[in-house]
């Protein structure tokens, strides 16, 4: 006769030898409870019904052979009878009688839990397959969880339903795909005291960036109400990114905050029905709560600290679910599993890069999962039961993917949905399977026609883009273990912060040029002076747009400071502790005028290219206060967040006196050269910069040659003019002579000097010229980086071996 205590284990008593019975991994659950509780982490109390109970249930009902017989009927070629096999297995479990001893054990354990709490508890009944949450397979969402269960009979009923969920269509197919034998996998069930997140909030966090695998951040997502909405991907969540080193050094560690829509809130119903799944319902989230972040900064950082403790305990990257009780305001960790996508990489040195060779008509955009590209015919499906209509290589278009869609994911070339988020269970499984997916488009099923040929691109940062037609694309495999960096520093030119974590995995020495303009035009969108002088704006339409964009900020200029500091911090974090050189804004007046509210604050110029731009703007009464906002953002990044790897660069500085004026103004704004090792560079893009290089070197800490502007100003042409553009040539002897002259002047003064541009990757002889002259660094666009490295290494080798083969004449 089985003993009751073999079926039940209290969470705080589970030992290492018990792990096979409860689906735990890596460490004793009891030790984990003690360890985490001792460090202030709150975990709801509960107990596990072990896998011994599952086998006991099967044996008492003589189900083992019957289940195996049904599962052996599975068509493993086309899986046409998957639904039939699943239903038959379900019926066997549901038709089984609950053994009296097992029922008594669960009832006694639940009653004991209630007595300790001093009330009749509502609990969550959670499945945990004993093969679940391995580093190579998440089993995310494959079995069922039932919430808000109250009373012994309901708990026992929910337990039995969990057992049956071991044989859902998705779970059967998933085990086959992962190579698990069906009857080797058992099920334990956790019964856990409910956290009243229905009146609070809940979410998911990862101890790495889930798309790129970047390990130095914690990504926290959350919604109002129960977590099922975020698990299913039905609600657009808030997202916070926390930089681990800043957190550990007690600096301002939240480097990114994005407000989600949070249109729905899942709550408990007041009445209890026979089936546990009907105890919850979705209601519309009040507008004022949609426009609030679900957590304070302090709560986000607390969760991130807990995440680091859990990651350290389990010795691997983690996928963690959390919940905040709306009545007590306490936050709990309710589930933790190893992250499976990046942990399972067979060769972390291999980087796969995808790029479209041309762009087409954009049909819709959403959240990209991964970085791949796929093409094919669109197939619009409303229900996973229609899976037979999907042909191998079709692109699945549907409203939302929940775990029920998992069995057909491998059949699809790509998946595009109206709804969904990047932390849902379906997203986790899509990444794990390597499926190209774009979720949360909002309109894919209406703008894409059934049978239409489309291209799905996840290779454009966080935004996934669906194009009309079949577009050509290429795949590049980079083995970073075989790439060594040259002596000359190789750096990036970067504009989009969303691509920073992905690019940081490539061999590099940091960022030689971060273009601030991209962030201002694409993320901030508002002219800084329109924020500072909002009450003076005469454009009503602009005022309305500004009100909409800045509704979270009582002081409108803070909107500019906050978003700019987050964007720069994201890049600084991705490349930390390598140098990140941020160029202060370098819009021309016509470009500034195109920002929201900009026309009122910009002059009309005949030739903006050589007009009111760069350094001359910063101390002008027309923009001086706007420049102060840029400086305020950089102060936050360096002083409050601790990113002292950020260096600042002044563009288009015409005279030495102008340089002194700007550097002095920056010191006045709290950015003084030398404070916390702050270095201020200037662009070398005007002939006066070259002719007076030694004098400029007394004002600035470093130089960066802007070859485009230097070429046009040396040759006296407008590079935007099609009439004279054929004359634009960086290899012109006059341009090369100036570049040579400024490099030699910088070396004489001991001033660092680099160059930002495409030429060294396109022309090996140009790379040779720069290396021979003794340049310190060369910065490339990401798509030219590897080719640039090769050219520099060839140049350095030829110089070491004797007379270089590739020469540029400059005399």
Mind telling me the catalytic residues?
A: 425, 756
Largest CA distance in the chain: 98
Please name the helix (run of DSSP H) or strand (run of DSSP E) that holds residue 426, with its range, or none.
helix 425-433
Say what the alpha-carbon torsion angle 775, 776, 782, 783 is, to the nearest 10 degrees.
Answer: 30
Long-range pairs for 76-80: beta carbons < 8 A, 24 or more residues apart: 76/176, 79/173, 79/407, 80/388
CA distances from 201 to 108, 198, 324, 604 (A): 31, 7, 5, 50
Residues facing 463 on adjacent strands: 367
**At residue 436, what are phi and psi to the nearest 5 degrees?**
-70, 125
- Cα–Cα distance, 453 to 430 (Å, whole number): 22
Q: At what angle do helices 100-117 and 152-164 cross, to 10 degrees?
A: 120
Q: For the residues of 296-351, what is the DSSP string, one character each?
A: -HHHHHHHHHHHHHHHHHHTS-EEEEEEE-TTT--EEEEEEEE--TTTT-S-TTEE
Q: Residue 353 in contact with residue 230, Cβ under 8 Å?
A: no
Packing angle, helices 656-668 and 624-635, rounded to 10: 60
Burial 388-422 (b: 16+ CB within 10 A, else e): eebeeebbbbbebbbbbbbbbbebbbbbbbbbbbb
Which H/E stretch holds residue 157? Answer: helix 152-164
Q: At what angle do helices 100-117 and 51-60 cross, to 10 degrees?
A: 150
The residues, any chain, with a CB within 8 Å of residue 548's CB and separated by 6 or more, are none
Tokens of 212: 């790129």
Residue 649's DSSP bridge partners are 583, 681
Assess contact for 686 and 707: CB atoms under 8 A.
no
């Amino acid at each position: 006769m089985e003993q009751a205590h073999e079926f039940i284990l209290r969470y705080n008593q589970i030992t290492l030898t018990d792990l096979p019975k409860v689906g735990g991994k890596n460490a004793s659950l009891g030790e984990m409870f003690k360890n985490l509780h001792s460090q202030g982490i709150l975990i709801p109390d509960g107990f596990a019904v072990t896998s011994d109970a599952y086998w006991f249930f099967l044996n008492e009902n003589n189900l083992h052979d019957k289940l195996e017989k049904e599962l052996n009927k599975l068509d493993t070629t086309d899986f046409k009878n998957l639904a039939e096999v699943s239903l038959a297995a379900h019926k066997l479990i549901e038709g089984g009688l609950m053994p009296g001893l097992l029922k008594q054990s669960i009832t006694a354990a639940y009653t004991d839990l209630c007595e300790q709490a001093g009330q009749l508890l509502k609990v969550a009944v959670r499945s945990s397959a004993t093969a679940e949450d391995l580093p190579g397979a998440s089993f995310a969402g494959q079995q069922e969880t039932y919430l808000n269960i109250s009373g012994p009979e309901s708990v026992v009923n929910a337990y039995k339903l969990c057992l049956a969920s071991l044989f859902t269509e998705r779970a059967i197919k998933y085990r086959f795909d992962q190579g698990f034998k069906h009857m080797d996998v058992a099920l334990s069930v956790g019964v856990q005291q409910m956290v009243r997140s229905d009146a609070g909030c809940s979410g998911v966090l990862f101890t790495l960036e889930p798309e790129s695998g970047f390990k130095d951040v914690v990504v926290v997502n959350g919604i109002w109400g129960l977590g099922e909405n975020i698990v299913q991907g039905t609600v657009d969540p808030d997202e916070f990114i926390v930089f681990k080193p800043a957190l550990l050094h007690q600096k301002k560690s939240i480097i990114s905050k994005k407000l989600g829509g949070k249109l729905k809130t899942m709550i408990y119903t007041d009445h209890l029905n026979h089936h546990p799944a009907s105890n919850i319902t979705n209601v519309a989230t009040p507008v004022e709560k949609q426009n609030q972040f679900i957590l304070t900064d302090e709560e986000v950082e607390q969760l991130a600290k807990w995440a680091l403790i859990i990651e350290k305990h389990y010795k691997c990257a983690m996928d963690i679910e959390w919940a905040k009780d709306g009545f007590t305001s306490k936050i709990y960790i309710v589930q933790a599993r190893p992250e499976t996508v990046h942990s399972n990489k067979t060769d972390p040195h291999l980087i796969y890069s995808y790029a479209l060779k041309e762009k087409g008509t954009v049909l819709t955009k959403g959240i990209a999962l991964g970085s791949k590209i796929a093409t094919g015919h669109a197939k619009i499906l409303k229900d996973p039961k229609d899976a037979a209509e999907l042909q191998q290589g079709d692109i699945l278009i549907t409203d939302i993917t929940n775990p029920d869609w998992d069995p057909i994911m491998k059949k699809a070339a790509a998946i595009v949905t109206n709804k969904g988020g990047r932390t849902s269970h379906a997203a986790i499984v899509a990444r794990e399977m390597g499926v190209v997916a774009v979720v949360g488009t909002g309109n894919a099923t209406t703008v894409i026609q059934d049978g239409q040929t489309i291209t799905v691109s996840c290779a454009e940062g966080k935004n996934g883009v669906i194009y009309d037609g079949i577009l050509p694309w290429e795949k590049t495999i980079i083995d970073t273990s075989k790439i060594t960096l040259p002596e000359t520093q190789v750096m990036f030119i970067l504009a989009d912060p969303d691509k920073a974590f992905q690019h940081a995995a490539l061999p590099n020495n940091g960022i030689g040029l971060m273009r601030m303009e991209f962030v201002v035009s694409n993320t901030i969108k508002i002219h800084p002076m329109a924020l500072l002088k909002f009450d003076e704006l005469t454009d009503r339409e602009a005022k309305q747009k500004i009100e909409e964009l800045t509704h979270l900020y009582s002081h409108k200029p803070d909107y500019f400071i906050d978003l700019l500091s987050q964007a720069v911090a994201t890049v600084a974090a991705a490349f930390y502790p390598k140098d990140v050189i941020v160029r202060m804004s370098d819009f021309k007046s016509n470009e500034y005028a195109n920002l929201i509210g900009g026309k009122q604050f910009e002059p009309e110029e005949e030739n903006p290219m050589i007009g009111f731009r760069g350094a001359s703007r910063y101390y002008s009464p027309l923009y001086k206060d706007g420049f102060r906002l840029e400086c305020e953002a950089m102060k936050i990044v360096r002083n409050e967040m601790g990113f002292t790897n950020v260096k600042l660069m002044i563009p288009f500085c015409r005279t030495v006196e102008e340089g002194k004026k700007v550097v002095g103004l920056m010191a006045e704004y709290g950015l003084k050269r030398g404070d916390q090792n702050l270095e201020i560079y200037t662009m070398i893009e005007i002939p006066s910069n070259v002719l007076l290089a030694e004098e400029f070197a007394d004002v600035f800490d470093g130089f960066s040659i802007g070859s485009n502007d230097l070429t046009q100003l040396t040759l006296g042409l407008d590079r935007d003019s099609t009439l004279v553009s054929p004359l634009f040539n960086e290899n012109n002897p006059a341009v090369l002579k100036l570049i040579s002259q400024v490099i030699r002047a910088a070396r004489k003064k001991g001033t660092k000097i680099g160059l930002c541009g495409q030429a060294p990757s396109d022309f090996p002889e140009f790379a040779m010229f720069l290396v021979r002259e003794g340049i310190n660094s060369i910065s490339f666009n990401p798509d030219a980086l590897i080719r640039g490295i090769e050219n520099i290494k060839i140049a350095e080798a030829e110089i070491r071996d004797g007379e270089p083969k590739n020469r540029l004449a400059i005399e």
